[in-house]
């Protein structure tokens, strides 16, 4: 690999407002919207501690010890390294970029504290191209102090190769790592991109695309000689290919993903190759013997790599057709024995999660409230949900009381998830605190991911006593 002379790259001073955030930032999952600056700021604010960084800049100063790298695309400078810092500076200049009213008010105060010391210009290093700067990004975030998650690293490596048209061996040589490491990253990235097509339920798909899903274990299963022998599975360039027909391959993948999500298999239960082989023999026996449809072909799956290279808030982008999703999955007919609760669930099954976000948050909060009281009622303790005046306790009070009833829960993992959900110190926006703030108008508009997560934590209470 040819040595790059980084010291020759030009340094310039540019205004913060003119710099654009990177829509291809590996920290942002592919399913998150990145059409505008506000979309990107919203994600980074929720997941990358931007408000804390803003406070540090105001209290300690902007210490630009690590260079901010940019590339020039058409007439714009795109920040490819330093997006967190740029987001913080942009929010200080324009607090309305922050995604919530409380955050905007807090940043307004911090901005006033800076007074005339607002940072409007910063020094940046201009890389010749995205390809050239990728080596620096890999060193910083793959092995350095600001490490990416496994999914973020996979996305970076895969998209770097896809955009450059390099082979796995060429990417490995460029980043000075083994070809097997690059192969695993590309494979995991492509498999995740294929998840939406294998027939998972909305809830399963959401969990499978979450960073907590054990994609590394799944990759280990797919890498076994037996799996490749039975399916013809391989990664070729930036494509998934098989010798068996796609319908069968999808069913096998769905079975594996479902078993991982349901904790039927993991790296402990299938620790040895022989254990994995026994599992694969069991799940593929009947599937592979099914008759092929005449019009079904082997897999040749390549994810779309077409993304816009910059963010332009003034241009109206053509809307892409998105798969509609109900607030509550309408494939199940819930019968709780509580008429009002059943009616509200049916209402949720008629709402589109992307269209009725605020109404959805309020509805889910009411459903959760009734579901909690129902659990107490089933355990003949409904009176604990009311105060001495006969009025229903606050939702947070009843939930705190509920999680103390450990003997009511067979599934301790769910109980721990419920405790995290109601913990007031929980840093996640997918929490009871967020739900309450939406209900009281302190946040602007809830997002789809938050609504999906609230339903996922509520659903087991609806299905009680099966938890």
For domain 6-146, say whether CATH 3.40.50.1400 is its number: no
Which residues in 374-399 are b (16+ Cβ under 10 Å) and which e? bbbeeeeeeeebeeeeeeebebeebb
pLDDT in tens, the chain (467 residues): 455 677 789 999 999 999 999 998 888 887 788 888 888 999 999 888 899 999 999 988 887 778 899 999 988 999 999 999 999 999 999 999 998 888 899 999 999 998 888 899 999 999 998 888 887 787 777 655 556 677 777 777 777 766 667 788 887 787 777 888 888 888 888 998 899 889 988 788 888 888 788 888 999 999 999 999 999 999 987 789 999 999 999 999 999 999 999 999 999 999 999 999 999 999 998 888 877 766 678 999 887 533 333 444 544 444 444 456 888 988 888 889 999 999 999 999 988 887 777 788 889 999 999 999 999 999 999 999 999 889 999 999 999 999 999 889 888 888 888 888 887 665 454 567 767 766 665 555 667 777 888 899 999 999 987 55
What CA–CA distance (Å, rounded) separates 198 from 93?
45
Query: CB-side exposure of 214: number of CA atoms within 13 Å?
Result: 18
User: β-strands 69-73, 76-81: how paired?
Assistant: antiparallel
Instruction: Say if residues 221 and 267 touch (Cβ distance below 8 Å).
Output: no
| Residue 451, both tokens | 């609504």
Phi and psi (nearest 5°) for 233? Answer: -65, 135
CA pair distance 236, 242, nearest whole angstrom: 10
Q: Which one-letter DSSP state was computed for residue 6?
A: G
Helix, coil or strand: residue 386: strand
37 phi and psi angles, rounded to 5 deg: -60, -40
SS (H, E, C) 141-175: HHHCCCCCCHHHHHHHHHHHHHHHCCCHHHHHHHH
Predicted TM-score (pTM) of this structure: 0.48
Whether the CB-CB separation of 28 and 40 falls below 8 Å is answered with yes
Q: How far apart are CA 455 and CA 371, in angstroms?
A: 12
Instruction: Provide the residue ranges of all domains of the chain, joining segments of one domain with +.
Output: 6-146, 198-301, 339-462
Are 267 and 217 in contact by the 8 Å Cβ rule? The answer is: yes
Closest CA to 174 of 214, 205, 136, 135: 135
CA dist 336 to 79, 199, 378, Å?
52, 28, 11
Fill in the DSSP letter of residue 393. P
CA–CA separation, 44 and 463 (whole Å)? 35
Question: 272-286 burial by CB neighbour count: b if 16+ within 10 A, else e?
Answer: eeeebbebbeeebee
Helix (H) or strand (E) holding 134: helix 130-138
d(CA 313, CA 37): 7
Main-chain dihedrals φ then ψ at residue 3, nearest 5 degrees = -70, 130
CB atoms within 10 A of CB 111: 17
- 218 closest CA partner among 231, 229, 227: 227
- 107 DSSP β-pair partners: none
Among candidates 272, 267, 144, which has minimal Cα distance to 216?
267
- Is the four-CA dihedral 70, 71, 73, 75 of positive or negative sign? positive
User: Which residues have CB under 8 Å from 436's CB, separation 6+?
Assistant: 365, 395, 396
Phi/psi of residue 148, nearest 5 degrees: -80, 160
Query: 449 with 441: CB under 8 angstroms?
Result: no
């Amino acid at each position: 690999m040819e040595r790059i002379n980084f010291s020759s790259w030009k340094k310039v001073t540019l205004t913060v407002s003119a710099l654009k955030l990177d829509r291809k930032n590996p920290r942002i999952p592919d399913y998150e919207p990145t059409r505008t600056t506000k979309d990107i700021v919203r994600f980074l604010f929720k997941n990358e501690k931007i408000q804390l960084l803003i406070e540090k800049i105001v209290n300690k100063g902007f210490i630009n010890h690590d260079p901010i790298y940019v590339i020039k695309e058409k007439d714009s400078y795109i920040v490819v390294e330093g997006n967190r810092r740029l987001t913080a500076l942009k929010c200080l200049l324009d607090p309305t970029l922050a995604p919530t009213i409380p955050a905007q008010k807090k940043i307004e105060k911090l901005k006033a504290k800076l007074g005339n010391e607002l940072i409007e210009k910063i020094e940046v290093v201009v890389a010749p191209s995205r390809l050239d700067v990728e080596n620096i990004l890999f060193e910083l975030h793959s092995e350095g102090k600001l490490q990416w998650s496994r999914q973020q690293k996979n996305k970076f490596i895969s998209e770097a190769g896809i955009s450059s048209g390099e082979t796995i061996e060429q990417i490995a040589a460029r980043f000075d790592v083994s070809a097997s490491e690059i192969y695993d990253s590309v494979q995991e990235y492509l498999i995740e991109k294929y998840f939406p097509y294998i027939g998972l339920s909305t809830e399963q798909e959401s969990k499978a695309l979450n960073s907590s899903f054990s994609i590394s274990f799944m990759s280990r299963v797919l890498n076994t000689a037996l799996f490749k022998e039975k399916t013809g599975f391989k990664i070729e360039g930036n494509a998934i290919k098989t010798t068996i027909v796609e319908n069968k391959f999808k069913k096998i993948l769905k079975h594996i993903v479902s078993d991982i999500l349901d904790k039927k298999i993991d790296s402990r239960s299938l620790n040895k190759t022989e254990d994995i082989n026994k599992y694969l023999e069991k799940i593929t026996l009947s599937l592979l013997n099914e008759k092929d449809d005449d019009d079904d072909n082997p897999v040749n799956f390549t994810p779309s790599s077409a993304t816009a290279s910059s963010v332009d808030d003034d241009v109206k982008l053509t809307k892409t057709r998105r798969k509609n999703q109900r607030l509550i999955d309408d494939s199940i007919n819930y019968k709780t024995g509580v008429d009002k609760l059943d009616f509200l669930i049916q209402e949720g099954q008629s709402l589109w999660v992307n269209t009725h976000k605020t109404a959805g948050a309020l509805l889910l909060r009411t459903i959760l409230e009734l579901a909690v009281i129902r659990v107490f009622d089933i355990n003949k303790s409904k009176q604990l949900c009311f105060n001495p005046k006969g009025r229903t306790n606050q939702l947070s009070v009843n939930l705190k009381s509920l999680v103390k009833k450990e003997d009511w829960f067979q599934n301790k993992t769910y109980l721990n998830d419920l405790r995290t959900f109601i913990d007031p110190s929980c840093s996640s926006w997918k929490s009871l605190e967020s739900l309450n703030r939406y209900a009281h108008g302190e946040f602007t508009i809830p997002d789809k991911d938050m609504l999906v997560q609230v339903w996922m934590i509520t659903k087991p209470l609806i299905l009680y006593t099966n938890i």
